[in-house]
Amino acid sequence: MKTLIYGAGPIGSLYAYLLHEAGKDVTILARNKQFDFIKENGVVLINEFTGEKVTAKVKVVDRLEEKDAYDLVVVAIRKNKVLSVLPILSQNKNVKNILFMGNNTLGFDDYLKFLLKEKILFGFPGAGGGRKEHVVHYIDREKPNGKRMPITIGEMDGEIKDRTRQIKSLFESANVPVDVVKDIDGWLKYHVAFVSPIGGALFMCSGNFSKLAKSKNSLRIFIRACKEGGNVLKELDYTKRQPFRFNLFYWFPEWITIKIFQGFFSSKFAEIGLALHAEAAIDELKELANEFKTLIDKTSIKTPNIDKLSSFIP
């Protein structure tokens, strides 16, 4: 499966590297100075658990031409940048499938204005990190010896198609697990209901996860904001809470949930996978908060904790 990774941030760089090392036909699309760096040095990554630095001379391009042919394009850029690439993708008739891998709050209508429904599917990466200068610092598991976190993918109509299986097989051949879900729209909405309050809580604590982990009051606001988001989605008929951990907000007493997230926000994964990303993605976090407000306005749910946390995103 000839694959283009559209975006050379931490997610795109990591999966381009892993597919390349697995012997797959993969190309990465980078821009400006990052393109020049990769062309000269290859993709360079540092595993924040082990400190290991790896390099791979992945094929790199700086644009998608109208006549370029790929079996799969994986769009791995921040949500607030996606609309700008849709016209570019629409001009190419030789790309067979496009996987948008990232946050999505409001569904698929904007994508369908440019692209055929049969051509696109959606998902979310199982890794996080950031870029310091041109080197990607990443983390793709919650514990040093833990399993690599899975990519989540799904079709808009919930079916599991031949191309869904092929994409799953592609990543699994690079030792990247893949979860296929039937309601990717709901999955992505619940993810935003989780990650947007994290961003607000982090900035409320001056961008410091250690400070957040020690502040029971901040954690209490975060937990209540997530529950408010879940209540909004339930009223909009998204009744299956996903990812599965979202159920923690409802199944446990608040004091237990606080203890769970004290540990989570003190972890290396939070430091690299969330905080480093948040520093570079303030614009995306703001857009996600505004988009979720659009969903809130469709319901009668009061969301004082979501409103409070959203106000802290710069």
3-182, superfamily in CATH? NAD(P)-binding Rossmann-like Domain (3.40.50.720)
Say if residue 276's pLDDT is above 70.
no
Q: pLDDT grade, residue 73 (50/70/90)?
A: very high
Say if residue 304's pLDDT is above 70.
yes
DSSP one-letter code for 98 = E
C-alpha R_g of the chain? 19
Q: What is the mean pLDDT of residues 189-213?
A: 91
Q: pLDDT grade, residue 153 (50/70/90)?
A: very high
Please report, for the chain, the start and end positions of each structural domain, with discontinuous segments joined by +: 3-182, 186-310
pLDDT tens by residue, 112-126: 999 999 999 999 999
Q: pLDDT grade, residue 245 (50/70/90)?
A: confident
Q: Is 153 exposed, middle or buried (0-12, 13-18, 19+ CB in 10 A)?
A: buried
Say if residue 95's pLDDT is above 70.
yes
pLDDT tens by residue, 12-54: 999 999 999 999 999 999 999 999 999 999 999 999 999 999 9
DSSP one-letter code for 113 = T
Q: What is the Cα–Cα distance from 61 to 59, expressed in whole angstroms?
A: 7
**CA proximity to 179, closest of 117, 125, 233:** 125
What pLDDT is attached to residue 207?
81
